[in-house]
Amino acid sequence: MNRIDINIKHGPLVMGILNVTPDSFYDGGKYNSIDAALYHVREMINDGVDIIDVGGESTRPGAEEVTLEEEIDRVCPVIEKIIHEFNIPVSIDTRKSRVADEALRLGAIMVNDISGLQSDPDMPVTIAQYNAYCVIMHIKGTPQTMQLNTEYNDLLSDIAKYLCQSIEIAKKAHIADDKIIVDPGIGFGKSLEQNYVILNNIQYFKKLGYPVLIGLSRKSLIGKLYDTHEDRLPGTIALNAIAMYNGADIIRVHDVKEHKLIIKPLKMLYQVANS
Tens digit of each residue's pLDDT (9 = 90 or more) over 48-100: 999 999 999 987 776 778 999 999 999 999 999 999 999 999 999 999 999 99
Quickly state the pLDDT bin for 271 (edges 50, 70, 90).
confident
Catalytic residue among 172, 219, 224, 257: 219
Burial of 112 (0-12, 13-18, 19+ CB in 10 A): buried
Whole-angstrom distance, CA of residue 56 vs CA of residue 249: 24
* Residue 5 within any structural domain of the chain: no
Three-class SS of 210-261: CCEEECCCCCHHHHCCCCCCCCCHHHHHHHHHHHHHCCCCEEEECCHHHHHH
CATH number at residue 149: 3.20.20.20
User: From residue 91, how far is each of 18, 45, 103 by CA, in Å?
Assistant: 10, 14, 8
Residue 60 annotated as catalytic: no
Mean pLDDT of all residues in 122-142: 96
* Residue 234 within any structural domain of the chain: yes
Residue 252 annotated as catalytic: yes
Whole-angstrom distance, CA of residue 90 vs CA of residue 82: 8
* Residue 184 within any structural domain of the chain: yes
* Residue 113 within any structural domain of the chain: yes
User: pTM score, two decimals?
Assistant: 0.92
Q: How far is CA 121 from the centre of its chain?
A: 20
* Residue 2 within any structural domain of the chain: no
More confident residue, 180 or 27: 180
* Residue 1 within any structural domain of the chain: no
Which of 1-5, 25-29, 43-47, 60-64 is predicted with the least confidence, judged by mean pLDDT?
A: 25-29
Q: What angle do CA 4, 47, 90 make, to 5 degrees?
A: 30
Domain total for the chain?
1
User: From residue 223, how far is each of 103, 148, 216, 217, 235 by CA, in Å?
Assistant: 33, 19, 11, 11, 8
Domain ranges, residue 119: 10-273
Instruction: Determine what percent of the chain falls in helix, strand and coil, rounding each to the nearest 5.
Output: 45, 15, 45
Share of the chain above pLDDT 70, in %: 95
Closest by CA position to 198, among listed 211, 215, 210 = 215
- In the prediction, which pLDDT does 24 show? 47
Q: Which range among 27-36, 63-72, 126-135 has the greatest average pLDDT?
A: 126-135
* Residue 217 within any structural domain of the chain: yes
Q: What is the DSSP letter of 47?
A: T
* Residue 142 within any structural domain of the chain: yes
